[in-house]
A and B are shown apart, each in its own frame.
Chain A
Amino acid sequence: MLKGAEPPFMEPGSKRHDNALWRDRLYGGLRARALPLVMVDDHTIPAASIWTGARLWIEAFRSAGLERGDRVVLALDPSPAWVQVLVAAIWEGLTLIPLPSQALRKPDDIASTFDPALVVGCGKADWILGHDSDFAPRPDARKRETTLPTDPEIRLVMRTSGSSGQPRFVAISDENLLSVLDSHEAHLGLTDRDVCLSILPWHHAFGLVIDLLPALFAGATIVRSERALRDPNLQLDLAIANNVTYCSMVPLHVERLAQIGRGQEWLKELSGGVVGGAPISSHQASILKNTRLRVGYGQTEASPGIALGEPGEWHEGAIGSPIGCEIKLDERGHLLCRGSNACAGFWHADRGIDRLPTSRWLDTGDLATRDSQGKLRFIGRADDSFKLSNGRLVESALIERKLANALPEGLRAVLLPAEGKIDVVVLSKSKPENGSAESALRLSLGPLADYVGQVHYLRESAAPKTAKGDIDRLALGANLRTTLRAAA
């Protein structure tokens, strides 16, 4: 990381010096430099202008009366202003809550959920701070009166993906954040010669902590187009036009890129990047095995980095090796981690941040196993488990894994709770044949077969997916119930 002297405009002895570690990195890494360079859609901003822009935001925050620990919601689309606000908020020791810009359609909800002192975005309330065409803050916002306590050590409050239940808001401290950045830095191997294609959301922990911040601190060039986020062809065009060397993504991106002609070759040409955010399927692993991309395993509750794989080391359910923390499997097969990455606590709209012990084992809620070579494999989510009417626990992930070996090639089963029984959805890559897996399914389920209600057959491509590409079990169950009601 780049180092630099303390900036001359800071008041010696002020409490703002508490954040010296961050300030050293930000000042040394940005001021008067040409790199990092951030290219977002039609805007290209070098480090020097990120720095001077951040100073304007710092002045605006101070003018509005913000103090260390005050909560600031950042609800802009990715832009130079987004990066400047990020730098300014970290510099000032504010607690930043990045949200998608659409969240500001309901500003009262933001106020009641986060009790923020200020919101950066587009809106009419006097506690919403906007910017001009040069991304400089408009000098007309005032601090909102807040009621919930602040926590000056909390740097970020970030939403979990909610792919397995209700989303939660995770409180990430300076220690959490710096621990993950420092432990991942050497492994990611980013340098100022890298050009990074940014396709992950910046308001998610993976996109911000594992992708954007390491690239900024490495002095890399970051290329992003909001128009290209959902279009793999545009992503490739952008990557090729800018000589992209590095790209982090979720497994769904891998699949989509591999489906277009140049995509698979381009993935092989990348010098690095992290694939994470969702489990790796055998198909995705086969696409990735000849690349220099590596698996990244974690969750927002772990700030969010837990493990990284080696470049090109891929297998179904790949997790990699722990980075900056220790991990273990408990007697139930849950994967636990312990270290400075374990989040400082959770945000609650009614009382603020509930702190958690820093030395605890964090239960990821993921089920994993070690293979014969000692490598960890992800099996599934523990909270996909459910109980039968007789109280017996159905550990879906473990059973589905067993079924995957028993069912004919190209089929997989998903177990869903159905009023004390089990509904089974058999997913197939090609057109499903009803009844084709019934006997193998029942044989493999053993005594549990007595609790099977309906068996449904569905083409895998027709199954609802989460944004990261997992099967959306809640939506799948709801769809089945709707279909059954209509049929009745």
Chain B
Amino acid sequence: MTTTAQTFVPANVLANLSTLDRSKADSCNFGIVQVDDSGKILLYNNYQSELGGVPVSDAEGKIFFTQIAPCTNNAMFFGTFKKGVAGGALDVTFNYTFTFKMKPTNVQVHMYRDGVSGTNWVFVNRA
């Protein structure tokens, strides 16, 4: 795992997360998932919806790590998230293989907690 030095997320996006609304998120060409401290999805952008084949309306309100992407419910992924939220600092990037539309797909993941707004983000990019 590494930190933001290797992230695919543009600096201006990371710097303005407190004002990132749905339309701005949908304009990005990578997956954006905003979750609360329990992992409940607050925002699921179009890119992520199309990548995963999960409609936005089906995803939002569900727990990302157990209901939408249960393959992330392990110490490496969900455990890192919980540890980061508990400690108030989350900023890790790593490679992962999701299954999108029944096909394994290599992606880069950046999990980030915005210190200004206290919001949590999972960014996903096709590797």
Contacts and interface: CB of A to CB of B under 8 A. Distances in A.
Contact of B76 (A43, A47, A134, A221): A221
Contact of B70 (A34, A39, A80): A34
Contacts of B106: 43, 133-135
A276 interface: no
Contacts of B127: 133
Interface string A30-50: 001111010100111111111
Interface in B89-127: 94-99, 102-106, 127
Interface of B: 70-78, 94-99, 102-106, 127
A52 B74 contact: no
- Most A Cβ at <10 Å: residue of B71, B73, B106: B71
Nearest to A135: B104
24 contacts: A32-B71, A33-B70, A35-B74, A37-B76, A43-B97, A43-B106, A44-B76, A44-B96, A45-B104, A46-B71, A46-B72, A46-B96, A48-B70, A48-B71, A49-B71, A49-B98, A49-B104, A56-B104, A133-B106, A133-B127, A134-B97, A135-B104, A193-B75, A221-B74
B111 to A, nearest CB: 13
B70 A52 contact: no
B105 to A, nearest CB: 6
Q: Which 6 A-B pairs have the closest CB atoms?
A: A48-B71, A45-B97, A34-B74, A49-B104, A46-B71, A34-B73
Given A45-B104, A135-B97, 13 more contacts: A32-B70, A34-B72, A34-B77, A37-B76, A44-B94, A44-B97, A48-B70, A49-B104, A50-B104, A55-B102, A80-B104, A135-B106, A221-B76
A53 B104 contact: yes
Nearest to B66: A34
B69 to A, nearest CB: 9
B103 A46 contact: no
A441 interface: no
B95 A44 contact: yes
A134 B127 CA distance: 9
A2 B104 CA distance: 22
B74 A49 contact: no
Contacts of A221: 74-76
A441 to B, nearest CB: 57
A45 B97 CA distance: 5
B96 A52 contact: no
Contacts of A35: 74
A33 B71 contact: yes
Contact of A52 (B73, B76, B103): B103
